[in-house]
Amino acid sequence: MKVLVVGSGGREHAIVDALSRSPQVDKIYCAPGNAGIASQAECVPIKDTDVAGLKQFAVAQAIDLTVVGPEAALAVGVVDAFREAGLKIFGHTQTATRIESSKEFAKQLMVKYDIPTAAYEAFDDYEQARAYVERKGAPIVLKYDGLAAGKGVVVAMSIEEADAALRDMLLDASFGQGRVVVEDFLTGPEFSLMCFVHGDKVVPMPVAQDHKRAYDGDKGPNTGGMGAYTRMPFITDEDIAEAMKHVMLPTAKAMVAEGCPLSGVLYGGLMKTPDGVKVIEFNARFGDPETEVVLPLMDSDICDTFMGIATGEEFAAPVWSDDATLGVVLASKGYPGSYDKGFVIGGVESLSAKTYHMGTARRESGELVTAGGRVMIVVARAATLAEAHTYVAKEIEKIECENLFHRNDIGYQAFKK
Ligand code: AMP
Ligand code: GLY
C-alpha cells in the first residue's frame, strides 16, 4: 500500500512511525512533513490545507490511504473532497469537524443529548457577556468560538481578568469576528481519552495526560503541550467506563442523529469532577502530544484500523501493550513567546528512546537545526511509569543544543502520594 499522511508535527511523526511498522505499507508520503519525518517517509511540499494540491497528488500517485493529522485540514473539507474523488481517507467530514471547530456547536450538542459538561451561555455582545459574568462570579471560563490555535481559552480567576478577556475577544476582535462561550469553572484531574470512531462504533485508546503550561509545577503560559504520559493511576477503569458510557458513545450516536456521523478520531478532553466525568472540550483528531505517547503502545497493525474506518467496514479493536510511556517536549527558549531558530541539535542519533520531531530542519550540510517553538519530543517506554520517567531524563541529557528547555515534572500527578 501507498499511504499519505497530512501534517507536519510530532503527532504526524508518530503516525508515520506507527504506519512504518505495518507489513502492509510499502511507501509512506507526508505532506508537508518535517526533517524528522523525512527519515521514515518521503516528504512532499504541499500545505496541509491545500485541498486541491493534496487531492491531485493522491490521484497522481495512486495513494491507497490518506491519514489526516491536523484539524485545519479537516475543517477546510479535505475529507469531503477526497471522498468525492473516490479516494480512501481517514478523518471526519467538514460538518462533523464542527465538534471541534465550533465550541458552540459542541456545547449545544452536549446540552441536547445530555452529555455532561459545564453549564454555559454564548454571547456576541460585550455588555451582555459582561453582565452574565458579573452574575456568575469568578472563577469563570471564556472560550472564543472558533479555531484559535489553542489560545482561545481563558480561565479567569477574577472578574477583572474575565472582563479583560471579553474586551479582547468581543471588542478588539483579536481572533476575528466570533462569539464567546462563557462557562462554569470545573475542578478535578484532566485526562485525554482518544477513541477511534466510525458512526456509532467507538473504540478507546489508552488514556493519556497532556501538560499545557510551559514550566514545572504547571506554571507559566499555555503552550501547545510540553509533554504527556500514559497510565494514570488516578483515572480508574471505572472512570473510563463511565466516560465511554456517558460521553464518548452518546456523542458518536448524537452525531449520527444530527446527520454528521464521525469517522476518525474523537478526542475527549475530560475532567474527573466531584460530580463525575465531564467534557472540557472535544477535538476531531488525534491529540498532540498525546498521540506521541499512545501510538507507540499499539501492538496491532494501525493500517487495519485506519482502513476499516476509511472504508466504513468493520474494524477490530486495536491491541495495546501494558507498558507505560512518558514523553518530554524540548522547546526553543522563549516559547511560547518569541524565540530564535537555527540552533544546531546534536546527539539525537545516540538516543535509544524514540524521538518525534515537531519543529526541526536539516541544513544542506546535513546538520539538524531548530525550526519551531516546540522542537521535538523524547518518548521513553518502560514497564512502569516511574521507570519511563528515569529513562527519559537520561536520554534527554544526550541531546546537545544551546537553545532548548524542557519540563522535568511530566507525569507528576501520577507520582503524587
Ligand atoms: P482547552 O483549550 O479547551 O483545552 O482549554 C484549556 C484548558 O483550560 C483546559 O485544559 C482546562 O485546564 C481549562 N479549562 C477549560 N474549560 C474549563 C472549565 N470549564 N473549568 C475549568 N477549567 C477549564
Ligand atoms: N493535547 C491537546 C490537543 O491536542 O489539543
Query: Is 247 within 8 Å of 115 (Cβ atoms)?
Result: yes
- With cut-offs at 50, 70 and 90, classify the pLDDT of residue 48: very high
Examine the fold and report which residue of 277, 311, 345 is the final residue of a domain before the chain moves on: 311
Q: Residue 52: inside a domain, yes or no? A: yes
Q: Residue 109: inside a domain, yes or no? A: no
Distance separating alpha carbons of residues 410 and 228, to the nearest angstrom? 7
| 296 and 404 assigned to the same domain | no
The residue to which cell 462561550 is assigned: 181
CATH of the domain at 200: 3.30.470.20
| 137 and 89 assigned to the same domain | no
pLDDT tens digits along 128-146: 999 999 999 999 999 887 6
Ligand 1, residue 184: give the atom nearest the CA. 19
100, 103, 141, best to mutate for ligand 1 pocket (most atoms within 8 Å of CB): 141
By C-alpha distance, which of 303, 316, 278 is closest to 22? 303
CATH of the domain at 350: 3.90.600.10
Residue 280 alpha carbon to ligand 1 centre in Å? 6
Q: Please give the residue range of the domain that contains residue 238.
A: 190-311
Distance separating alpha carbons of residues 191 and 287, to the nearest angstrom? 11
By C-alpha distance, which of 118, 76, 105, 115 is closest to 93? 76
Any atom of ligand 1 within 6 Å of the Cβ of 257: no
Q: Whose CA is nearest to atom 11 of ligand 1?
A: 280
Any atom of ligand 1 within 6 Å of the Cβ of 121: no
Ligand 1, residue 269: give the atom nearest the CA. 4
| 125 and 88 assigned to the same domain | no
| 68 and 22 assigned to the same domain | yes
pLDDT at 417: 67
| 78 and 168 assigned to the same domain | no
| 241 and 349 assigned to the same domain | no
pLDDT tens digits along 108-135: 999 999 999 999 999 989 999 999 999 9
- Compute the CA torsion angle 170, 74, 98, 316 (nearest 10 deg): -150
Any atom of ligand 1 within 6 Å of the Cβ of 17: no
Q: Which residues are 29's β-sheet partners?
A: 4, 42
Is the confidence at residue 377, as pLDDT, over 60?
A: yes
Residue 269 alpha carbon to ligand 1 centre in Å? 9
Within 284-372, strands assigned E span 324-332, 354-357, 360-362, 368-370
By C-alpha distance, which of 314, 322, 392, 324 is closest to 353? 392
Residue 143 alpha carbon to ligand 1 centre in Å? 9
Any atom of ligand 2 within 6 Å of the Cβ of 225: yes
Q: Residue 111: inside a domain, yes or no? A: no
| 288 and 347 assigned to the same domain | no
Distances (CA, A) of 255 to 29, 96, 112, 143, 343: 31, 7, 11, 22, 46
| 213 and 303 assigned to the same domain | yes
Residue 309 alpha carbon to ligand 2 centre in Å? 22
Cell of 329: 517536549
CATH of the domain at 165: 3.30.1490.20
| 307 and 357 assigned to the same domain | no
| 174 and 196 assigned to the same domain | no
| 332 and 307 assigned to the same domain | no
Number of domains in the chain: 4
Ligand nearest to the CA of 327: 2
Examine the fold and report which residue of 311, 343, 376 is the final residue of a domain before the chain moves on: 311
| 60 and 163 assigned to the same domain | no
Any atom of ligand 2 within 6 Å of the Cβ of 288: yes
What mean pLDDT value characterizes the chain? 95
Distance separating alpha carbons of residues 244 and 125, to the nearest angstrom? 36
Is the confidence at residue 104, as pLDDT, over 90?
A: no
By C-alpha distance, which of 25, 64, 127 is closest to 15? 25
Q: Residue 318: inside a domain, yes or no? A: no
Is the confidence at residue 149, as pLDDT, over 80?
A: no
Distance separating alpha carbons of residues 358 and 13, to the nearest angstrom? 8
pLDDT at 113: 98
Cell of 38: 523525512
- State mean pLDDT over 280-293: 97
Other CB atoms within a 10 A radius of the CB of residue 154 amount to: 20
Distances (CA, A) of 16 to 54, 67, 85, 116, 317: 17, 9, 24, 35, 20
